[in-house]
Amino acid sequence: MNPTNLWPIPPTTLIPRELTEKSATLKKRLSDIAARYVDVRFATSLAAEDMVITDAISKSKTKIALFTLATGRLHQETVDMTKATENHYGVVIAKAYPEEVDVQGFVDQYGMNGFYDGVEAKKACCGARKIKPLNAALLGADAWLTGQRREQSTTRVELNFEEHDDARGIAKFNPLFDWTEADVWAYIKQENVPIHPLHLKGYPSIGCEPCTRQVKKGEDIRAGRWWWLQSDSKECGLHINK
């Protein structure tokens, strides 16, 4: 794909005062969450939104633990970004790995790349590599955070700052729920936040390597995720609240 036709990192549009206010609000949200709950955990994918939250956690010195879903099918750039983030912020990002028996069960039934065959196979793969590891990573937590935003997709337009995760029986927060894509990148530029290298190659949203592709200019920013499925199927199940 011609690089000039790919999604570009959006330009900064916020004036400094507006961004300062947004940054202060984000840090207050994080501090308030940490004050309300004893054990708060943040699931980071190392993509732009999650790097903003990581930066805000670090700079506000908020007691929130970080973890990532090490699915076994990530881009090498994502694996490298995990280590780079740990080094940059002086933090430890726990790795939530899938169980070998679950992965093998999927492969035996569908084949290694069977998720391309349809929604049910995709759900089965995400279940083994993402949902079960997430459940394990959240055992004992009182609350968890995500980098979801309302603007990201049609399935998130009614997203709230605070939810109750009925599936896991804990509180769930989306600190960037009301941020725009431009807000995210303005923060990254101003605060010198490390950038995932795939963002520089036309990937606005980053997941597992075989299920993520580059996005063209003008396409929906989640168009590169599970591109072979209909738009209403473009969630992995991590955020289904039931």
**CA–CA dist 80, 191 (Å, integer):** 21
Q: How far apart are CA 142 and CA 190, in angstroms?
A: 32
Q: Is there a catalytic annotation at residue 236? A: yes
Residue type, 153: S
Catalytic residue selected from 125, 126, 211, 236: 236
Asked if residue 208 lies in contact with residue 129, where contact means CB atoms within 8 angstroms, the answer is yes
Parallel, antiparallel or unpaired: strands 65-69 and 93-96: parallel
Q: Are 51 and 57 in contact (CB under 8 A)?
A: no
| Residue ranges with strand state E in 88-193 | 93-96, 143-145, 162-165, 170-173
Helix 76-89 / helix 48-60 crossing angle, nearest 10 deg: 10
Cβ atoms of 205 and 225 closer than 8 Å: yes
Q: Which amino acid, one-letter code, is at 65?
A: A
Cα atoms in the 13 Å half-sphere on the side-chain side of 45: 20
Is the Cβ–Cβ distance between 45 and 71 less than 8 Å? Answer: no
Between CA 59 and CA 67 the distance in angstroms is: 18
Distinct helix (H) and strand (E) counts, the chain: 7, 6
So which residues are the catalytic ones?
A: 236
